[in-house]
Amino acid sequence: METTRHYTATVYVVSDGAVALHEHDGLDKWLPPGGHVDRDELPHEAGLREVREETGLDADLVAERDDIGSQTVEALPKPRHFQLADVNVHGGFVGHQHIDLVYYARADSRAIDPADGEQSADAWRWFTPPDLEATDALDPDVAEIGRRAVETVSE
């Protein structure tokens, strides 16, 4: 069988020394905002769209760009992490994976106001680095990337 792969973009949004995570309905995990990259989107645009839809926050990416380009080449914001996530595993076979481009962003507010059809604001929580370390409710990669995002964005 063939493994289906989709490109996704995830954004660890930081405000006032904490990162926003939500308890995902279907996966029963705490995750940052993110989702699939649509056919007409660039990965960083998809990530920011997902942030707006899921949190209502207007975030600014904290990302480097190369200084190399031309009339036909544009440098894009670099993701901080590039991951492959198994989404659908049955009997040892991986049926679906996400190729995830992970970004950091800064928000000036912690007021979560999701768009219609998204999980309610009650599903969201702001985690400080001590919060990230003190709980076992997070996958290790989410806790570590959350900690790094807070450290990087707060500099």
Is the alpha carbon torsion for 69, 48, 95, 22 positive or negative?
positive
Q: Residue 23 maps to which CATH number?
A: 3.90.79.10
Give the global pTM: 0.94
| pLDDT tens by residue, 46-104 | 999 999 999 999 999 999 999 999 999 999 999 999 999 998 888 888 889 999 999 99
Alpha carbons 131 and 127: distance in angstroms, whole number: 5
Overall domain count for the chain: 1
E-assigned strands of the chain?
4-15, 18-23, 30-31, 34-36, 60-61, 81-90, 93-106, 124-127
pLDDT reported for residue 38 = 97
Q: Which residue has the tokens 């029963």?
A: 28
Domain range for residue 143?
4-153
